[in-house]
Amino acid sequence: MDIIHLAQDELEVLHLCDGEGKSQIEAGICIGVSRGTVQRLLASARCKVAQALVGRKALAISGNAPVLQ
């Protein structure tokens, strides 16, 4: 089975924006990065999740699991 790797920072941004409903600016403040970085990470995370779902591929989280509040 093919595996798509989702980086820890992509997961964290995906959770903050889509899971908690924070704006990209708010998410950036939470993790200490610019809105542009959040936008890039979010686009990448959404693409990877969509590819995994549509392609019936495994989704693996790379790196340490984030501490979500």
Per-residue model confidence (pLDDT) at position 63: 79
In a domain, 55, yes or no: yes
Angle of CA points 9, 23, 17, to nearest 5°: 45
> For residue 21, is it within any domain?
yes
Residues 49-61 as b or e (16 or more Cβ within 10 Å = b):
beebeeeeeeeee
Which neighbouring-strand residues pair with 3?
Answer: 58
Flag whether 7 is in a domain.
Answer: yes
pLDDT at 1: 84
Q: What is the pLDDT of residue 49?
A: 97
- The answer to whether residue 67 sits within a structural domain is no
**pLDDT (tens digit per residue) in 8-52:** 999 999 999 999 999 999 999 999 999 999 999 999 999 999 999
This prediction has a pTM of: 0.86
Return the pLDDT at 69.
Answer: 43
**Residue listed under structure tokens 């501490």:** 67
Give the integer Cα–Cα distance in Å for 59 and 66: 16
Q: How confident is the model at residue 64 (pLDDT cuts 50, 70, 90)?
A: low
Q: Identify the domain containing residue 38 by its residue range.
A: 3-62
Residue 45 lies in a domain: yes
- Domain of residue 57, CATH code: 1.10.10
How many domains are contained in the chain? 1
Rounded to whole angstroms, the Cα distance separating 42 from 37 reads 8
Q: Is residue 68 part of a domain?
A: no
